């Protein structure tokens, strides 16, 4: 029997769990963090973008120690058909600021570093230990957890569920339902190693500058999803992801999608001569605001991916994870100090505080987007990228055809494939969902 009762148990050591455990431990709470992987980050998919702001609010001087790859100075947004891409690139020397805004990172290294800060702050970390279920008292209040290391419970005043997208512990304990295949994407990613100089020459970079490419179009073969490519110090992360229900409908495997993406004439030269060292697949919750499960109960709080906190439109996840983790922790610290109960009613404070942050504001703003894109996937991820590409090709090709005829041809290509009304409808819906 373990006599000790912790102030808080955090399930999971991803960005949300680390943010929560760090914040509480730093404030002097007795925190136990449990991670099923060998170490924090061992279960995570490599290569990601770190948004400085969310981490700065937790560890203000993180830039001095965290393992960062490159700071992002250029964003490329591509609409792709099978042979072309239409791009909007934004590059600015303003991003070469003293405290850069976005970085590329390797998750395994970054998470490990973050975890070392959590331990320095005084939290106890148990790795290679899986939480199997929540322990409840007779009234149904959560009072601790059980792990795969025997039946013995460990008790705490509150359990913070930072267990990632699957939310199995919450599910098994009846706090939430299973995630639905149309609200979650499966992403696959590879790391391609290249000498530093090659990365810099290929993307016009100097020093630690970095580029991010985000792409949509026929690369997802009519399914809802996006492809991406990030430059790291000596490697490139490349990946693609689609909504799970689309994949099971189409029968296209994620691996095939990635292979085709890498063979695309716009991507292939960027990866040429590289050596692929890692392949990983992971789920991303993309249901947005409408898919958020119950977030608090008596003795428990949900943070990060487990709460579906991902802004799929902007590919932001870890920053929402850290922010929700931090705010949940702040709430627990606040209640502990006031000697208040860790009850559902008191945890509404967490939800209230979240409403005031970009997390809830952004997810609310885009609440209509996931469903819209999903129900019009053939148009958004097939037809429109093809039409745009065709139009630009007609426009730029100099072949003796006069410009008025070209304009007509372009207009008709649009009319032929989709009624004017349909197109206007899509545009209208998109604008409305965006607002």
By CB under 6 A, which span of 38-46, 193-201, 287-295, 388-396 interacts with ligand FAD? 38-46
- Look at residue 337 and give the partner it binds from ligand FAD, another protein, none, a contact being a CB closer than 5 to 8 Å depending on partner kind: none
Nearest-angstrom CA–CA distance, 248 and 303: 28
Q: For residue 11, give every residue at least 6 positions away whose Cβ sits within 8 Å of its Cβ, in sequence order, or none.
A: 17, 34, 131, 145, 159, 160, 161, 162, 163, 169
Q: Please tell me whether residue 117 binds ligand FAD under the rule CB under 6 A.
A: no
What size, in residues, is the chain?
Answer: 435
* Residue (of 233, 258, 238) closest to 105 by Cα position: 233
Count residues near another protein (CB under 8 A): 19
- Look at residue 86 and give the partner it binds from ligand FAD, another protein, none, a contact being a CB closer than 5 to 8 Å depending on partner kind: none
108 vs 354 by CB, closer to another protein: 108
Q: Which of 89, 149, 268, 290 binds another protein (CB under 8 A)?
A: 149
By CB under 8 A, which span of 97-105, 142-150, 209-217, 350-358 interacts with another protein? 142-150
Q: Please tell me whether residue 400 binds another protein under the rule CB under 8 A.
A: no
Q: What is the pattern of x (binds ligand FAD, CB under 6 A) and - over residues 182-221?
A: -----x-x--------------------------------
Q: How far is the CB of 154 from another protein (least distance, A)?
A: 7
Measure Cα distances from 4 to 8, 25, 26, 31, 144 in Å: 12, 16, 20, 11, 11
Of 343-372, which residues contact ligand FAD (CB under 6 A)?
none
Q: How far is the CB of 319 from another protein (least distance, A)?
A: 25
19 vs 383 by CB, closer to ligand FAD: 19
Q: Please tell me whether residue 129 binds another protein under the rule CB under 8 A.
A: yes
Nearest-angstrom CA–CA distance, 198 and 74: 17
* Residue (of 242, 245, 240) closest to 182 by Cα position: 245
Nearest-angstrom CA–CA distance, 350 and 155: 22
Q: Please tell me whether residue 152 binds another protein under the rule CB under 8 A.
A: yes
Q: Which of 93, 139, 150, 402 binds another protein (CB under 8 A)?
A: 150
Q: Please tell me whether residue 315 binds ligand FAD under the rule CB under 6 A.
A: yes
Between helix 344-355 and helix 358-365 the angle, nearest 10°, is 70
Q: Please tell me whether residue 254 binds ligand FAD under the rule CB under 6 A.
A: no
Of 26-65, which residues contact another protein (CB under 8 A)?
32, 38-39, 42
Of 247-306, which residues contact another protein (CB under 8 A)?
275, 277
Nearest-angstrom CA–CA distance, 122 and 129: 19
By CB under 8 A, which span of 122-130, 181-189, 240-248, 409-417 interacts with another protein? 122-130
47 vs 241 by CB, closer to another protein: 47
By CB under 6 A, which span of 31-39, 289-297, 360-368, 377-385 interacts with ligand FAD? 31-39
Q: Please tell me whether residue 14 binds ligand FAD under the rule CB under 6 A.
A: yes
Q: How far is the CB of 312 from ligand FAD (least distance, A)?
A: 10
Of 329-388, which residues contact another protein (CB under 8 A)?
none
Q: What is the pattern of x (binds ligand FAD, CB under 6 A) and - over residues 127-166?
A: ---xx------------------------------xxx--
277 vs 432 by CB, closer to another protein: 277
Residues forming contacts to another protein in the complex (CB under 8 A) are 2, 32, 38-39, 42, 109, 124-126, 128-129, 147-150, 152, 154, 275, 277
Question: Which residues in this chain contact ligand FAD in the complex, by CB under 6 A?
Answer: 11-17, 34-37, 43-45, 48-49, 130-131, 162-164, 168-169, 187, 189, 239, 282, 284, 304-306, 310, 315-319, 321
């Amino acid at each position: 029997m373990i006599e000790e009762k912790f102030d808080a148990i955090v399930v999971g050591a991803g960005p949300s769990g680390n943010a929560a455990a760090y914040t509480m431990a730093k404030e002097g709470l007795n925190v136990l963090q449990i991670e099923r992987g060998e170490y924090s980050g061992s279960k995570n998919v490599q290569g990601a973008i770190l948004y400085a702001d969310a981490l700065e609010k937790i560890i203000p001087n993180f830039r001095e120690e965290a393992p960062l790859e490159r700071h992002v100075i250029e964003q490329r947004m591509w609409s792709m058909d099978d042979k072309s891409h239409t791009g909007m690139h934004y590059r600015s020397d303003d991003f070469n600021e003293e405290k850069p805004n976005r970085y590329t990172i390797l998750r395994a290294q970054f998470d490990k570093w973050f975890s070392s800060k959590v331990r320095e702050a005084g939290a106890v970390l148990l790795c290679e230990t899986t939480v199997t279920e929540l322990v409840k008292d007779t009234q149904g209040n959560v009072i601790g957890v059980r792990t795969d290391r025997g039946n013995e419970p460990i008790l705490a005043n509150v359990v913070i569920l930072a267990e990632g997208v699957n939310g199995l512990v919450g599910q098994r304990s009846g706090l939430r339902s299973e995630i639905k295949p149309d609200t979650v994407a499966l992403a696959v990613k590879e790391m391609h190693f290249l000498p530093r100089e090659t990365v810099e020459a290929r993307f016009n970079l100097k020093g630690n500058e970095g580029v991010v490419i985000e792409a949509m179009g026929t690369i997802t073969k009519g399914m809802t999803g996006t492809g991406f490519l990030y430059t790291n110090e000596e490697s490139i992360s490349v990946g693609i992801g689609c909504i799970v229900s689309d994949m099971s409908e189409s029968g296209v495997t994620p691996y095939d999608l990635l292979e085709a993406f890498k063979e695309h004439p716009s991507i292939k030269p960027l990866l040429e001569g590289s050596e692929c060292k890692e392949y990983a697949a992971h789920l991303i919750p993309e249901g947005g605001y409408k898919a958020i499960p119950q977030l608090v109960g008596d003795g428990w709080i949900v943070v990060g991916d487990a709460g579906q906190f991902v802004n799929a439109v902007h590919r932001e996840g870890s920053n929402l994870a850290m922010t929700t983790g931090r705010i949940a922790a702040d709430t627990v610290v606040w209640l502990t100090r006031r000697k208040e109960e860790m009850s559902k009613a008191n945890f509404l404070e967490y939800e209230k505080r979240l409403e005031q942050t970009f997390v809830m504001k952004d997810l609310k703003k885009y609440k209509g987007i996931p469903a819209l894109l999903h129900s019009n996937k053939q148009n958004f991820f097939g037809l429109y990228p093809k039409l745009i590409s065709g139009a630009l090709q007609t426009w730029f090709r100099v072949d003796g055809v006069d410009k008025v005829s070209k304009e007509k041809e372009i207009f008709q290509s649009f009319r032929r494939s989709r009624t004017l009304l349909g197109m206007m409808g899509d545009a209208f819906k998109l604008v409305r969902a965006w607002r």
